[in-house]
Structures are given as structure tokens and as C-alpha cells.
Structure 1
Amino acid sequence: MGIDEAGRGPVLGPMVYGCAYCPMSLREALSQRSFADSKTLTEDKRDTLFAEIKADPMMGFAVDCLSAKTISAQMLHSERGNLNTIANESTYRLIEQTLALGVNLQEVYVDTVGDPDRWQDRLSQRYTGIKFTVCPKADSLYPIVSAASIAAKVTRDTILRDFPVEEAITVGRDFGSGYPGDPITKAWLVAHLDRVFGFPSLVRFSWTTCSRLLDECAIPVKWECDQVESQQQTLTFGGLAAAVSDTASCATKRHSYFRARRLQRVATAF
């Protein structure tokens, strides 16, 4: 089995993890085919190879699509996740789904951008009996990983091309490569930024590019929880009781209507 991803860096669209697998007896035969890192292939060539993978009865594949909304939700959660953790969970799902099909996995090759030794050890401990090889550029070294890369890339490109717009707005499709450094992508983000609601659901709000644009162009929002956290971080032992009392008072007695208008309680009638 080989595992690789497509769309880790872009600010637009999903990150897609893909896997491909076949009998170990076909290892040499795979090396004779045109599988290569999907980024080095033309779109037409990727589509052709993906069709071959789907039509080959001796090969199997699967993809795990992580939408921009899913990525943003996990990375902006109060217990913040990171992209490596999200990617690891996707890898687990692909392996476990394949095992659940009854596939006897013996060797798994994984492309990585993190610490390969640490990730390989973790996988080996989790799935005893399977030999793992984790290394950068695995999609260029192992044809089975190249096949997984093609499955992931073609799936992501199809999703971007046919992306259903959830918002009741017209969303242009000329968004360039989707990478933050692409001028066309930046122009698309600016053109589709709503000052109240932010970006369409195609966009990963958690990317720094987006947070900067929101800070610069959107209407400022003050969150009650941010004020409380700020107060808690600056507490001193001497002011602890007063600060806690004030926070509790704000939380239980004063409605946000009054706080937003800076209306203070000056007397208690009853």
C-alpha cells in the first residue's frame, strides 16, 4: 500500500489523502507503468492513469477528503488541532478502512513532510505486523505511492472544478493555483471577502492569509470569551478576587446589550 496527499498547502478547497494497494507480486510490474509524482504529470496524464487504476482488478484505492470547513473547524477549535494531527488521523482511517475490507496489508509506504522516523515508529506501534516505510518524496520513489498521489490529486481537482457553492452568492472559479502566494488566488480572496461573514466555505479560514485579510478588511468582532481570557492572563494575586468577582458579575448579571453600549450599573434599587 502507498499513501499520499494532495492539497496540504493551498488556502482553498479540501486536503485529500489517498491510498492505493495491490498484491506484492505486482511490485515489479508497477515500476514498468507510468506512475509518478502527480505534480510532475499533466492533468490529462493523471486522468488517464487514474482511470487505469480504477479499471485494474488487481489494484484498489481509497480517498479521504477533508473539506476546508473541516480543516478550519479543527484548527480554530478551542482545543486547537494542527495540520499534522489532521493528516495523521486521515492516514489511520485509510489503513483501517482497507484492513476492514479484508486486505492483508504487509508493507505500507507513506509520504511525509514531518519527522519520518517518529511517524514511522508511531505507525509501527499502532499496526503491529505491518512493515512501514515513511520518507519524504515517497511519491517519486515508490510507484504504489505515486498511484496514491494520482488518486488524491485527481479527486481534489474534481472537487474544486465541481465545487457546489453553499452560499447564495456568485463565486468565481478563476482562483488560480489556490496557494496563498499566488497573486490570482489573493485577488480572488479579496474579491470574495464579505465584511460580515468572511469567505465562502471553499476557503480555509485558519490560514494566516485569511486571518490577515479579515483583520484588514472585515468588520471587527469582539468576542466575550477573548475578554475573559485576557483578564485571566493578567491577573495578579492581589487582584484575583476583584477580577473574578467582576467576571462573574458580567457573566451572570449584565446582558451583552449593556456591555456593548458601555452602560454600567450605578445603583441597585432592589
Structure 2
Amino acid sequence: MKKEEREQRMRQRLREMRLPEEALWEQGIRYIGGIDEVGRGPLAGPVVAACVVLPQDFDLLGVDDSKKLSEKRREHLYSRILERAVAWGIGRRGPEVIDEINILEATKLAMLDAAAAADEMLREKDGSTMEHVLIDALRLEALDKPQTSIIRGDSSSVSIAAASIVAKVTRDRRMIKYAEEYPGYGFERNKGYGTKAHYEGIREHGVTPIHRRNFLKNTGY
């Protein structure tokens, strides 16, 4: 595929992914937060959520569901997204909370923290707060804002896709640091997911403080 054709496809993809936001912008809603998380399935590490508020003229090509992108591409887009975002925030919950209240509720708490952080950034800029949030597949009952839950939102909303990239890069960087603290589990490669190398690491070295013990109950470890 020629460079021009590839760029044309990316521009079309961006137009499609802006549709949920444009429907709200046309109603006069200015600040829209896209919220997504990463890390609900791993055996180790935190669940991380991000909330990103994009400007209406956001035109960064290539933003999509983080799972569809290479690590190099995610890293590039991560920096560009944070440069262009009106506001953004990160939330996280560690294994001890996940074990105590379950992964879904821990995810919601991380999302609430991310939304609160984005709101704080907006308040510091001009005294505003988010007027609407778009969330990937979940509804946050504790968030007192108009919200829309979008199934596979990271593939159909540019704000949610941007949040998915920010959350993924944030968590991956954290897991790479954990790999230095807890060598032998392959965290720098598997990011805490249950790969063969990860299970071999547990057999050889035991369970670490960043493991989700409830996730290991039925695995024999």
C-alpha cells in the first residue's frame, strides 16, 4: 500500500472514530472525557485506567484500540496524545484491592480516580470540568456526570481509544519496572499475563507481592 493510500485510510478511520464526540460537540458539549482501562486479566500487577479529554480539532492519525497497535506505535502516540490533550488523568488499583473487592469494582475505582484527575487538570486550566464521559463497556454509577457506555468503545471513539493507549503505556512501563524488582517472571515481556514463562517463574520463585492471589486460586499455585 502506498503512503498516500495508507494516510487516506487513517484519515477515514479518524473521521469514523470522531463520530461519538462530534454528536456531543454539536450539542454544545465542550469537554468530553474518554475513559478506558487495561490490566483486568493479568495474574500480576495493577489495573490502570486513563481519562483523556481531547480538543475538537484533534487530528492525530493512527489513534485506535491500543491492542491493535505495536508497542513502538503506542509509545509514539502516547506522547503526542498527552501533548494535544486538553486534560488527562490516570487511576490505578493494586493487587491487594483487586483481591479484596474483585477486579470489576477495582477497575471502576481506578476509572473514577482517572476522571477526578482529568477534572482537576481542567479546573486548574480554566475552572471547567468534564460535561460528559464516554466509557468503554462500563457504567460508573458513582460518577455524577452524564455518561455513555460504548461496547468496544476503544475501537469506535477517538477519546476512548486515546485513553486506552495512555492506560496501556502507563501500565506497561510499570510492569517493566516490576521486572527489575522481581526478576524471573518475564514481566517485561508478558506484563503480568499468564504466559508459560510467567507460570514457570511462579513455580521456581513463588508468588510475589504484586500477584493477584485470587487469580491464582484455581491454577495450583
TM score, norm. by length of structure 1: 0.60
Change (3 A) 1:42 1:212: closer
Q: Give the Å deviation of 1:2.
A: 0.5
SS in 2 for 1:45: helix
Kept after mapping to 1: 8 A contact 2:185/2:199: no
2:91 is equivalent to residue 48 of structure 1: no
- Percent sequence identity is 25
Shift of 1:99: 2.6
Structure with the greater alpha carbon radius of gyration: 1
Shift of 1:153: 0.4
Maintained 8 Å contact 1:190/1:213: no
Which AA in structure 1 matches 2:168? Answer: K
**Is structure 2 residue 134 aligned with structure 1 residue 109?**
yes
Aligned to 1:139: 154
> Which residue of 2 is the match for residue 85 of structure 1?
105
Distance 1:65 1:91, change over 3 A: closer
Q: Corresponding residue for 1:34? A: 62
Q: Give the superposition deviation at 1:211.
A: 5.5
**For residues 219 and 66 of structure 2, what CA distance do their matches in structure 1 show?**
31
Residue in structure 2 matched with residue 179 of structure 1 by the alignment: 193
Letter paired with 1:62 = G
Distance 1:69 1:82 in 2: 10
Post-superposition Cα deviations, 1:159-205, rounded to whole Å, max 9, x if no partner, equal 11112766xxx62252553323x322222221221xxxxx1113111
Structure 2 unmatched runs, 5+: 1-32
Cα separation, 1, equivalents of 2:219 and 2:185: 22
Aligned residue runs from structure 1 range 212-231, under 5 A? 212-214=219-221
State the secondary structure of the residue aligned to 1:70: helix
CA distance in 2, matches of 1:159, 1:94: 17
Q: How far 1:212 moved relative to its partner?
A: 4.1
Cα distance in 2 for residues equivalent to 1:189 and 1:45: 31
Q: Distance in 2 between matches of 1:70 and 1:185?
A: 22
Secondary structure of 2:48's partner?
A: strand
- How far apart, CA to CA, are the structure 1 residues paired with 2:86 and 2:77? 12
Cα RMSD after superposing both structures: 2.3
